[in-house]
C-alpha cells in the first residue's frame, strides 16, 4: 500500500474535492465518524438527512469500477456515442466514477447495486444519480430526463462522497437554471445545492 492511500490520505484528497456541505475542513471531515456527519445539526430541530458523507470500502470500489468498465466496453461494442456533448476520451472515467457514485447512494439507502444497468434506465432503486468531483458542481438535469424520478447530486471521487440532496426531475426543469456554463453548446438545468431536498 503506497503512502498516498495510508491513513486518511484517500479520504482527505477526495473530501477536499467534495467538502462544502457541512463547512468543515478536510481534516475535520476525514476524522469525523460517519455516524456524526448529518448529526452536526443535532438539537437544532433540523431533520435534514443531507449532506451525507459516504465512504466506500475497497470491495465496493472494485465492484462499482467493474460495472463502469463493463458499461463502457458495451458502448464501444455497440458503437454508441456519448450523449449531451460529453468528451468520448473521458468516457472511461465518467462511467467508473458514475458507478462509484451510484454505489455510494445504494450504500446509504441500503439498496442493492448490481448489474450494468440499461440505456435510459434508472440508476439505483428507481432513482437517478449525478456525480461530480467538483465542490462547486451543481445537480445537472437534462430536458429529456424523467420528470417523476429523484435525481441525487453526489460530490466526490476515489470512493469518498457527499450526497448533497435530491430533486424530482420536473422540479429541476426551471427556466432560471437552464444554462451553458462551459459555453460549449452543452446546456442543461444546473440546480444549486442549496435548492435540493435535504430529507427523505
**What pLDDT does 116 receive?**
57
200 in any annotated domain: no
Question: Could you tell me the residue range of the domain that residue 76 belongs to?
Answer: 3-39+46-195
10 in any annotated domain: yes
52 in any annotated domain: yes
89 in any annotated domain: yes
133 in any annotated domain: yes
**What pLDDT does 45 receive?**
52
- Grid cell at residue 50: 443531507
Report phi then psi at 61, rounded to 5.
Answer: -65, -45
**What pLDDT does 185 receive?**
87
66 in any annotated domain: yes
**What pLDDT does 200 receive?**
83
Query: For the chain, how many structural domains are there in total?
Result: 1
> Taking the alpha carbons of 64, 170, 198, 134 in that order, is the dihedral positive or negative?
positive
Instruction: Specify the length of the chain in residues.
Output: 200
Could you tell me the CA-to-CA distances from 172 to 35, 142, 143 in Å, in that order?
A: 30, 9, 10
Kindly list the averaged pLDDT for each block of 10 residues, start to end, along the chain of length 200: 36 42 38 40 60 96 94 89 74 91 95 64 85 94 95 96 97 97 91 95
Angstrom distance (rounded) from CA 65 to CA 18? 19
146 in any annotated domain: yes
**What pLDDT does 25 receive?**
37
162 in any annotated domain: yes
Beta-bridge partners for 152: 129, 166
Please, what is the Cα angle at 140 between 120 and 79, to 5 degrees? 40
Amino acid at each position: 500500500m503506497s503512502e498516498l492511500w495510508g491513513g486518511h490520505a484517500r479520504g482527505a484528497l477526495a473530501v477536499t474535492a467534495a467538502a462544502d456541505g457541512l463547512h468543515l475542513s478536510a481534516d475535520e471531515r476525514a476524522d469525523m465518524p460517519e455516524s456524526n456527519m448529518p448529526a452536526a445539526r443535532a438539537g437544532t430541530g433540523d431533520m435534514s438527512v443531507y449532506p451525507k458523507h459516504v465512504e466506500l470500502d475497497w470491495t465496493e470500489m472494485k465492484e462499482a469500477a467493474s460495472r463502469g468498465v463493463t458499461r463502457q466496453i458495451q458502448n464501444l461494442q455497440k458503437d454508441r456515442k456519448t450523449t449531451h456533448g460529453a468528451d468520448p476520451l473521458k468516457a472511461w472515467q465518467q462511467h467508473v466514477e458514475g458507478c462509484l457514485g451510484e454505489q455510494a447512494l445504494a450504500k446509504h439507502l441500503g439498496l442493492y447495486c448490481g448489474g450494468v444497468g440499461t440505456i435510459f434506465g434508472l440508476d439505483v432503486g428507481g432513482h437517478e444519480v449525478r456525480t461530480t468531483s467538483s465542490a462547486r458542481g451543481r445537480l445537472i438535469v437534462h430536458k429529456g430526463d424523467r420528470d417523476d424520478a429523484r435525481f441525487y447530486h453526489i460530490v466526490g471521487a476515489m470512493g469518498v462522497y457527499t450526497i448533497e440532496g435530491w430533486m424530482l426531475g420536473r422540479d429541476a426543469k426551471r427556466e432560471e437554471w437552464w444554462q451553458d456554463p462551459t459555453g460549449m453548446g452543452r446546456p442543461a438545468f444546473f440546480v444549486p445545492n442549496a435548492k435540493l431536498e435535504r430529507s427523505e
